[in-house]
Amino acid sequence: ATNPKEAEAGTIRADFASSIDANAVHGSDSAASAEREVAYFFNDNEICPRG
């Protein structure tokens, strides 16, 4: 995880996160994690196909 205090000024993380735990953004560590995490937050009809 990126510490917002170490993030580049003007980035979403630097501007809106208050700590590593209370963060404004998230990036998955792998495609498998991303698939699981996206399914947790969104229904199939909320996801637009890409590519």
Region of 47 (left: φ > 0; alpha: ψ -120 to 50; beta: rest) is beta
Active site includes 28?
no
Is the separation of the CB atoms in 23 and 1 below 8 Å?
Answer: yes
Annotated catalytic residue, options 25, 26, 33, 36: 26
N- to C-terminal Cα separation, the chain: 28
Positions marked active-site? 26
